[in-house]
């Protein structure tokens, strides 16, 4: 088997991860995004109805209480629901990664890969577990902006700012779900690599339009349980991410992947780590 062919298949793993991540993020964020949009629309309707000319509504305190309740209903149970969605997505990502890594390892080594039970792993679980608190934090920040004083001073812009702040919770869910999915995928590849044993290593495959830090990791390999170095970057102007990590995601929405690899496998052509390194330095999406 030629290393070019392996590299192309490994790149497909990053494409698949991107698709899985995007679908998971959409599913996990949609309920809260919709609830906030509905609450904002209801609040705006009432604000307009109670505003005469440019004046602030007379019964402002009552309106503020009513909007508070709207927000409370919009956020109710959302963190826990999104956490469950993240956990489901992480499990699916681990399952998919185990399948892909097993098939690719079998292709490279010419040997069947032992059966593996997929697990999302501790990093994916930790990412999912941050969601309820993150959502409640943003809910709290939004409520803090919702005061009669703020609305008296800034009017409709103040009301809009409350909902804009509330929507940050959607961004927090999105980042946590992406991290859970990426971590679970890396863990799946790690489980396969461990099971293969015999000095099999974990090789970093950068997604085609990866950032400078991720492209600098492409083609690097570690033993399972090891760490990829921090402080790498192809952009000499700045070094991001000083911390060593056990694998992708290097940052939220990083779709780099790990694949098992051994120097003893009969792969022809440019050595796979060298090829991945070269491709990360030259193959960039426009």
Q: Minimum CB separation from Zn ion for residue 286, in Å? A: 18
Give the interface segment with Zn ion, choosing from 56-64, 105-113, 243-251, 272-280 (CB under 5 A): 243-251
Nearest distance from residue 85's CB to Zn ion, in Å? 23
Compare residues 69 and 283 and give the one whose CB is closer to Zn ion.
283
Which C-beta is closer to Zn ion: that of 88 or that of 251? Answer: 251
Q: What are phi and psi of 71, to 5 degrees?
A: -65, -40
| Overall residue count recorded for the chain in this entry | 286
* Distance in Å, CB of 194 to Zn ion, minimum: 22
Helix or strand run (H / E) with residue 95: helix 78-109
The residue ranges of DSSP E strands in 138-263, in sequence order, are: 201-205, 221-222, 257-261
- The reply on whether position 254 binds Zn ion by CB under 5 A is yes
> According to the binding rule CB under 5 A, does residue 18 interact with Zn ion?
no
Beta carbon of residue 206, minimum distance to Zn ion (angstroms, whole number): 6
Which position among 13, 165, 215, 250 is part of the footprint of Zn ion (CB under 5 A)? 250
**Minimum CB distance to Zn ion, residue 63 (Å):** 46
DSSP 3-state assignment of 258?
strand
Report the run of H or E that residue 281 belongs to, with start and end. Answer: helix 272-282
- C-alpha to C-alpha distance for 75 and 69, rounded to whole angstroms: 10
- The nearer residue to Zn ion, 25 or 256, going by C-beta atoms, is 256
Whether residue 169 contacts residue 140, with contact meaning beta carbons closer than 8 Å, is answered with no
Cα–Cα distance, 256 to 248 (Å, whole number): 6
11 binds Zn ion (CB under 5 A): no
Q: Count residues near Zn ion (CB under 5 A).
A: 5
The answer to the question of residue 210 lying near Zn ion (CB under 5 A) is: yes
- Neighbouring CB atoms inside 10 A of 37's CB total 14
131 lines the binding site for Zn ion (CB under 5 A): no
Judged by the rule CB under 5 A, the positions of this chain that interact with Zn ion are 210, 214, 250, 254, 256
């Amino acid at each position: 088997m030629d290393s070019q062919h392996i590299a192309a298949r490994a790149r497909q793993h990053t494409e698949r991860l991107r698709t899985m991540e995007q679908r998971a993020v959409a599913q996990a964020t949609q309920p809260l995004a919709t609830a906030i949009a509905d609450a904002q629309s209801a609040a705006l309707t009432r604000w307009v109805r109670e505003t005469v000319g440019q004046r602030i509504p007379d019964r402002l305190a009552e309106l503020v209480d009513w909007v508070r309740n709207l927000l409370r209903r919009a956020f109710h149970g959302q963190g826990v629901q999104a956490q469950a969605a993240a956990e489901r997505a992480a499990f699916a990502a681990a399952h998919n990664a185990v399948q892909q890594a097993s098939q690719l390892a079998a292709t490279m080594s010419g040997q069947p890969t032992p059966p593996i039970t997929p697990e999302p792993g501790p990093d994916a679980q930790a990412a999912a577990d941050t969601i309820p608190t993150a959502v409640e934090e943003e809910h709290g920040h939004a409520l803090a902006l919702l005061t009669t004083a703020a609305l008296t001073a800034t009017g409709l812009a103040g009301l809009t700012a409350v909902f804009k702040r509330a929507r940050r919770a959607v961004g927090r869910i999105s980042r946590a779900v992406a991290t859970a999915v990426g971590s679970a995928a890396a863990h799946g590849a790690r489980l396969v690599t461990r099971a293969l044993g015999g000095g099999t290593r974990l090789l970093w495959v950068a997604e085609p339009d990866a950032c400078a830090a991720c492209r600098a990791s492409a083609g690097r390999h570690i033993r399972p349980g090891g760490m990829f170095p921090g402080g790498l970057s192809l952009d000499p102007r700045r070094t991001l991410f000083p911390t060593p990590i056990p694998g992708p995601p290097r940052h939220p929405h990083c779709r780099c992947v790990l694949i098992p690899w051994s120097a003893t496998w009969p792969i022809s052509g440019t050595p796979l780590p060298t090829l991945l390194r070269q491709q990360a330095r030259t193959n960039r999406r426009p």
